[in-house]
Amino acid sequence: MKKILKETVEELKQFMSGKTIDTIIPPIIYVIGNNLFGLNVGIILALSVAFLFALLRLLKKENILYALGGIGGVALASGFALIADNAANYFLPKIIGSGALFLISTISIFVGKPLAAILSHVSRGWSFDWFLRKDIKPAYREVTIVWAILFLARMLLQLFLYNRGNLTELGWASILLGFPATLTVLVLTLIYGGWRLRVLGGPGIEEFQEGKNPPWEGQKKGF
């Protein structure tokens, strides 16, 4: 158990190294600005903060990927709000995104290529044939099913709050269902996924690539 926790902490450090706060603060500023000064000022303040984060990353010569993502996200959300002159529409892109992720997850399950396996393959560079083994794929399929349920639940909750029209509720839901929820799901995914791979008894990715025969030690690190 200690080893699992240590590996999980290492994975989380890598996940959080991207300065994810750059995508969290602008929505907070938007809600506060809109409530105090109106839609246009809220948008200007949110965009200004997003640009400030990007500038700070550039000056510090840090990775500005998340800062640029924050600028793009705020710009897109602001467009939705301005077009309809409705402050709540700022959060429509996230609602649409939750729905899209639910559909993608569901489709990936039915076509036999779970989203969790695809994302792990892309981020880690492991051979995709390994993910499709009968003694490996069930772990990624089960994780993807859980993801799909969570994406659906998030979309439904966001839609409910959107129809209520309470911007403050939408803002807090957007924040809590964003980074904190993602972090929680990541932790559970790493713990459950690693345990499930060991139960399935398949080869580790290195054993698979080296063509080793059973008995295998299994996947020791990562999911």
For residue 183, CA distances in Å to 112, 114, 128, 179, 222 come to 26, 20, 25, 6, 16
Helix ranges (DSSP H) in the chain = 2-16, 25-37, 39-59, 65-84, 92-110, 115-124, 128-131, 137-164, 167-176, 179-200, 205-209
Asked if residue 80 is part of any domain, the answer here is: yes
Asked if residue 37 is part of any domain, the answer here is: yes
Cβ contact 212:196 at 8 Å:
no
- 2 has pLDDT over 70: no
Asked if residue 217 is part of any domain, the answer here is: no
- Which range marks the domain in which residue 135 is found? 2-209
Q: How many structural domains comprise the chain?
A: 1
Lowest mean pLDDT: which of 16-20, 114-118, 166-170? 16-20
Asked if residue 223 is part of any domain, the answer here is: no
pLDDT, position 76: 86
Q: What is the pTM of this model?
A: 0.81
Asked if residue 106 is part of any domain, the answer here is: yes
Asked if residue 71 is part of any domain, the answer here is: yes
Percent of the chain with pLDDT over 70: 87
Asked if residue 84 is part of any domain, the answer here is: yes
Highest mean pLDDT among 1-5, 122-126, 219-223: 122-126
Asked if residue 70 is part of any domain, the answer here is: yes
Lowest mean pLDDT: which of 105-119, 166-180, 187-201? 166-180
